[in-house]
Amino acid sequence: MCRSTNRQADPEVWFRIVHISQVGQSGAPVAAYRKQMVEIALGPKGAFENGNIGALTHQAPLNQVLSAVPPVRGDPKPPPEPKTPRVVELLRKAFEWKDLLESGKVASQTEIARREGISRARVTQVMSMLRLGSEIQERILSMPNAIRRPPFSERVLRPIATMSDSCEQRREFQKLLMK
């Protein structure tokens, strides 16, 4: 095994804050203003001595608190909107496609795939959700809109949909919810 001898130390960030006040006529400091200077050095320890310093200077009245955090520019981002979980949308789509097939408005899953711009295999995958037990389907359809990802996806449900026994499906679905 060959190891490189060309190792670089991780850069460190060092900073110091210097407070300076004006000097009055009697030689005593005047507290009307203070000057606060933040010096930032990037590099290894001792960077201040090497002159590797970037400085930020700010004057403020004595009673004003200075913040190193820059003010927010523009409008802050609105909080994310809750979305319908994808698995709910897909199950609804499967019911919709089933109704289209049963009513004769579409002749086959191939036609659905063409209309939707997806593959026939994907139509089959989504339609397979209809083989889930009615209790599982109801549980999926009753999922609330959320900001976070749901605890399961359509892909994870595929093996459960292949099970013919509804009790076995429920058992596996419960295991899925416990993860």
Residue 66 lies in a domain: no
pLDDT of residue 1: 44
Residue 20 lies in a domain: yes
Q: How many domains does the chain have?
A: 2
Residue 67 lies in a domain: no
Residue 17 lies in a domain: yes
Nearest-angstrom CA–CA distance, 115 and 98: 14
Domain extent for 26: 12-61
Looking at per-residue confidence, does 134 or 6 come out higher? Answer: 134
Picking from 65, 61, 64, 66, the residue whose alpha carbon sits closest to that of residue 32 is: 61
Residue 97 lies in a domain: yes
Residue 39 lies in a domain: yes
Residue 72 lies in a domain: no
Residues 53 and 101 in one domain: no
Is the pLDDT reported for residue 101 higher than 60? yes
Nearest-angstrom CA–CA distance, 52 and 13: 11
Last residue of a domain, one of 61, 78, 97: 61
Model confidence pLDDT, tens digit, residues 103-142: 999 999 999 999 999 999 999 999 999 999 999 999 999 9
Residue 118 lies in a domain: yes
